[in-house]
Structure 1
Amino acid sequence: PCFPFHDLTTDGHFAEPDVTIVSGLTDMVVFEGDDVTFRCQVSHENARDVEWKLQDVALQNNEMNEISVEKGKIHTLTLRKVTEQDIGTITFRVGPHTSTA
């Protein structure tokens, strides 16, 4: 088969198209002590180089921050029992693309 040259990498493998954000974050109103979930949909399943941040601080998956992926493309962050310290900007990043709420 014939493939366009620009689809091949220098080592002869096909270049992966960049993962983009299909559906970004939305601002949320939440009361202290409640849980809040943010969702961001990406264009490709199993995206790598994904990061969630609160006020520019990277978040890890733990008992207070649940980070998961639904159906391969919908990345979710649930903040448990939010407090005043959780107020701020949430950022989702995949590769060079970001969405904030």
Structure 2
Amino acid sequence: MDRRKNMCFNIVSIYYGDRPLATRGKPSESKDYYFRCYASAGSNDCGYRQASTIEDLCNGCKKYNYIKPLTKEEIREKYYAGKQREVMVVSTSGWHFKTV
């Protein structure tokens, strides 16, 4: 999974380039977008927080940490004290075991 696509509903992508709508590209991949967080409106005097990437904007946010998927190393450190374990991976097409 791509962590950039996983964002909460408070984030809005804003286009600032000059390309037509059909050729702008995806906000998570194009460099002509910046992201604004509407949950941060009351936290500072200058308005909403904004950044060029979702990671820069959402770093440390509890909602972003909840929805982003963990890597193999993060799962191993967080849940298995750094030891390798076999886990079951479930998808829409079936399930299988994988070592993390």
More strand as a share of residues? 1
TM class, shorter-chain normalised?
under 0.3
TM-score norm. by structure 1 comes to: 0.26
More helix as a share of residues? 2
Greater Rg by CA: 2
For CA contacts below 8 A with separation 6 or more, give which structure has more relative contact order. 1
